[in-house]
Amino acid sequence: MRMRMTRSGLSAAAETPKADGIPLRRSIISDHLKPLRRNIPKRFFPDKKHETVRVSRARCDTMGAMKNIRVLLWDIDNTLLDFLAAEKAAIRQGFSEFGLGECTDGMLADYSSINRRYWEKLERGEITKKQVLEGRFAEFFGKYALNADVPAFNDRYQILLGDTICFMDDGYEIVRSLKGKILQGAVTNGTRTAQEKRLKNSGLGELFDLIFISEDIGVEKPGKGFFDAVLKESGRLLGEMPDPREMMIVGDSLTSDMLGGVQNGLVTCWYNPGGMENKDHLPLDHEIRNLHEVPAILGFVPA
């Protein structure tokens, strides 16, 4: 089941809730991680220090099946939010605004394939983020002989991505149900422009205690530098450095989320609704078809 939202915001039934249970304090990014501060808006660095989040090992031992999990990390695109739905709407709106004619389902499928290939190259460290963002559209437009300003189209596309919010498996309600029970963070390779708007419009931004965007960190998932930043900031909020095996990452990408989790020693939970094959035979801890299985893994509710 997927919840849909419009750019007008949350419905009355999905208002951002107040935290209960363990007091958590939201942090976008640490003010002492380097090189994170480069080019990040000043609002991300509050003058006051964050409160310590009281999620002790002793308390975690009473919380369920995965007794040692203290930090839950969520991928955003195609895990909590349906990126393909947002992509489809943004591309078609962009075509309309730039006078490029109709964008058919076949063209969208071609773009998605091209886009995925560029992101996989980025994850392997073969190209830069800028090459991804502009290269995919240059190749796509070239294939269909479309005359468009690639940088301008990409800039507009990043903004349009935030206008369509579609949750995967009641993602909002699941994250909300865990708020105050465990430290939760968003981990994403998406652009800052797109992800800030998507997190705001979805209401998820107000639920997370930590938000990590690779563009701010300077390293993409699955890179070690990305997860080093996550570990360090999580430790700052917990009041002590967690063991990587006290952190679980939930995501749909084997090459980004799961590989990063495996290489950095985290507990991994592969969100695989389509039943895809684990072709690289990554040693994963959990594989799920529905996000409702996550609280059950943590021991909070029955599966």
Active site residue 75: yes
Q: Categorise residue 187: left if φ over 0, alpha if ψ from -120 to 50, beta otherwise.
A: beta
Instruction: Indicate which residue of 75, 82, 209, 257 is catalytic.
Output: 75
As a whole number of angstroms, the distance between CA 117 and CA 191 comes to: 17
SS3 233: helix
Q: Which value, to the nearest 10 degrees, does the dihedral of the CA atoms of residues 174, 176, 177, 178 take?
A: 90
User: 294 vs 45, 137, 169, 303, CA distance in Å?
Assistant: 31, 36, 11, 8
Please, where are the H alpha helices in the chain? 57-60, 83-97, 105-123, 129-143, 150-160, 171-178, 192-202, 214-217, 224-238, 259-263, 293-298
The dihedral through the CA atoms of 229, 300, 76, 204 has a sign that is negative
Q: Any bridge partners for residue 183, and if so which? A: 71
Residue 84: C-alpha distances to residues 22, 88, 109, 113, 253 (Å): 35, 6, 10, 11, 14
CB of 210 closer than 8 Å to CB of 226: no
Residue 78 to residue 82: CA distance in whole angstroms: 5
Instruction: Report, as residue numbers or ranges, the catalytic residues.
Output: 75
